[in-house]
Amino acid sequence: QKEVEQDPGPLSVPEGAIVSLNCTYSNSAFQYFMWYRQYSRKGPELLMYTYSSGNKEDGRFTAQVDKSSKYISLFIRDSQPSDSATYLCAMSVGGVSGGYNKLIFGAGTRLAVHP
């Protein structure tokens, strides 16, 4: 079993739809949760960054973390064609002295938003 599971999609939605992306994980030691967006032929770009459980909102994006269920979500409101990309969840135990711990990524979900 992989540490982080993510449905690879692809997910196709009409412009303006609400998109829900999800990941589950097995390591209860994870404390830091991230969502990255990756356009074709580009590196991952950090979208959302959450510590422990709870919700975080940034514009059209909302990240949710439920540590009791080992489940994280990213919601995109009013989706746009420019949101078409691969969305990667990532998480880490974090907290090591001297900086950032390694990230464990999901496989990524391909999203296509059509006009």
Partner 1 sequence: DAGVTQSPTHLIKTRGQQVTLRCSPKSGHDTVSWYQQALGQGPQFIFQYYEEEERQRGNFPDRFSGHQFPNYSSELNVNALLLGDSALYLCASTLSGQGASSPLHFGNGTRLTVT
The residue from 1, 14, 28, 43 that contacts partner 1 (CB under 8 A) is 43
Q: How many residues bind partner 1 (CB under 8 A)?
A: 30
- Examine residue 102 and tell whether it contacts partner 1 (CB under 8 A): yes
**Secondary structure class of 82 (helix, strand, coil):** helix
Spell out, one character per residue from 11 to 40, where the chain touches partner 1: x when CB under 8 A holds, - when not. ---------------------x-x-x----
Residue 58 CB burial class (10 angstroms; 0-12, 13-18, ≥19): exposed
Residue pair 19/76 in contact (Cβ under 8 Å)? The answer is yes
Nearer to partner 1, 17 or 53 (CB): 53
Q: What angle do CA 54, 12, 1 make, to 5 degrees?
A: 55
Residue 81 three-state SS: helix
Asked if 10 touches partner 1 (CB under 8 A), the answer is: no
Query: Using CB under 8 A as the criterion, what x/- string covers residues 73-92 for binding partner 1?
Result: ---------------x-x--
- Is 30 in contact with 93 (CB distance < 8 Å)? yes
Which residues of the chain form contacts with partner 1 (CB under 8 A)? 4, 6, 8, 32, 34, 36, 41-46, 49, 51, 88, 90, 94-96, 98-108
